[in-house]
């Protein structure tokens, strides 16, 4: 999600900017006209989306079994609600601010980060959700599975991009295995968490303002409280933690690096091993500027989310 400045060589950085640019141009135009009521609902949801995207992709969530922190992606569920086209530009804006002020990602790597977080992850989520609903899977389960795989797809995309950029001293396959196994113990549990949170979010919206939930997600069944099949939920709950623990490595190593960011643990180490230097766009350190931007951004995000949710929760005018 946040490939750091200095990791990608100029050739790779330009390549991914070339891929991201058409996607950004495609995502720029507004969709077709809607009724005034639908437009208010949609604008409220879009405001919530920007606030959630900024907050959730910056908020570090600890994964105790792996001894590190990472972020949920948020773009998979937003693509289900708003459409893939409407997610790309907000993702780029959020990643730009995070790269500039928080050393999360970079400007030269912004194209690659937009492709993974703004195109690949949400694109996979939409495709999987449509396939599952077409197969008759309950709506809640389809959303959970789609957002889980969308989150995984973001980091799978990062793994491929990094492996291709760092290949040389070691093969592409070696880098892909090392980076993928580095991401897995932290991101798989968070992907499962993101899947369930996304399901509950969409179901809550369906119960309060069904007009913002696309018809193909079967909002009527969501309003009725359709839940994930208990057996499947039990399998997921039993499989993910042991698999994550298996990949996490020794407890001593986890304690030594307790709750370091996934970017530092995986991306920075891979870059160092390949002889590259990870560096921020602006070295603001731990001073007041990042704190101010984070506080201001969180304040604005809270207003957007709160105002949007209150509008969506308010009863319709008769």
Domain ranges of the chain: 10-26+41-313
For residue 53, CA distances in Å to 130, 163, 264, 278, 282 come to 23, 27, 21, 24, 22
Do 77 and 143 contact (CB within 8 A), yes or no?
yes
HEC letters along the chain: CCCCCCCCCHHHHHHHHHHHHHHHHHHCCCCCCCCHHHHHHHHHHHHHHHHHHHHHCCCCEEECCCCEEECCCCHHHHHHHHCHHHCHHHHHHHHHHHHHHHCCCCCCCHHHHHHHHHHHHHHHHHHHHHHHHHCCCCHHHHHHHHHHHHHHHHHHHHHHHHHHHHCCCCCHHHHHHHHHHHHHHHHHHHHHHHHHHHHHHHHHHHHHCHHHCCHHHCHHHHHCCCCCCHHHHHHHHHHHHHHHHHHHCCHHHHHHCCCEEHHHHHHHHHHHHCCCCCCCCCCCCCCHHHHHHHHHHHHHHHHHHHHHHHHHHCCCCC
> φ and ψ at 68, to 5 degrees?
-150, 170
Residue 34 has a pLDDT of 47
User: Taking Cα atoms as reference points, which of 140, 131, 121 lies closest to residue 196?
Assistant: 140
Q: How far is CA 264 from the centre of its chain?
A: 18
d(CA 209, CA 37): 11
So what CATH class is 10-26+41-313? Answer: mainly alpha
d(CA 64, CA 255): 10
d(CA 64, CA 185): 10
d(CA 216, CA 230): 23
> φ and ψ at 33, to 5 degrees?
-65, 145
Tens digit of pLDDT at every position of the chain (318 positions): 788 888 888 899 999 999 999 999 998 865 444 444 456 667 777 777 787 788 888 877 887 766 678 888 999 999 999 899 989 999 998 999 888 877 788 888 999 999 999 999 999 999 999 999 999 888 999 999 999 999 999 999 999 999 998 887 788 898 899 888 888 888 999 999 999 999 998 888 888 777 788 888 876 677 665 444 444 444 444 544 444 444 444 333 434 445 667 777 777 777 777 777 776 666 555 555 555 566 666 666 666 666 666 666 665 543
- Sign for the CA dihedral angle at 61, 62, 63, 66 comes to positive
User: Taking Cα atoms as reference points, which of 263, 262, 2, 23 lies closest to residue 109?
Assistant: 2
């Amino acid at each position: 999600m946040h490939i750091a400045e200095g990791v990608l060589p100029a050739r790779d950085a330009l390549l991914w900017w070339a891929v991201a640019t058409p996607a950004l141009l495609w995502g720029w135009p507004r969709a077709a006209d809607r009724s005034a009521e639908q437009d208010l609902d949609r604008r409220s949801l879009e405001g919530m989306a920007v606030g959630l995207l900024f907050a959730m992709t910056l908020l570090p969530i600890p994964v105790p079994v792996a001894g590190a922190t990472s972020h949920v992606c948020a773009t998979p569920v937003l693509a289900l609600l708003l459409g893939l086209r409407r997610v790309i530009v907000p993702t780029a804006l959020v990643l730009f601010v995070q790269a500039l002020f928080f050393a999360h990602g970079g400007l030269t790597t912004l194209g690659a980060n937009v492709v993974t977080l703004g195109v690949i992850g949400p694109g996979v989520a939409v495709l999987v959700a449509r396939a599952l609903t077409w197969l008759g899977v309950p709506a809640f389960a389809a959303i959970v599975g789609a957002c889980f795989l969308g989150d995984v797809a973001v980091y799978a995309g990062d793994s491929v991009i990094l492996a291709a950029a760092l290949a040389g001293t070691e093969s592409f396959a070696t880098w892909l295995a090392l980076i993928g196994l580095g991401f897995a113990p932290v991101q798989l549990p968070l992907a499962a968490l993101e899947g369930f949170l996304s399901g509950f979010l969409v179901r809550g919206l369906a119960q309060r303002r069904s007009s913002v939930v696309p018809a193909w997600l079967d909002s009527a069944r969501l309003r009725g409280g359709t839940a994930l099949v208990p057996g499947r939920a039990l399998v997921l709950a039993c499989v993910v933690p042991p698999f994550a623990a298996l990949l996490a490595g020794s407890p001593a190593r986890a304690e030594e690096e307790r709750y370091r960011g996934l970017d530092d643990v995986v991306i920075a180490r891979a870059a160092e091993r390949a002889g590259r230097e990870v560096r921020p766009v602006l070295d603001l350190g731990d001073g007041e500027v990042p704190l101010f931007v984070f506080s201001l951004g969180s304040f604005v995000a809270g207003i957007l989310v709160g105002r949007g949710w209150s509008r969506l929760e308010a009863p319709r005018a008769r």
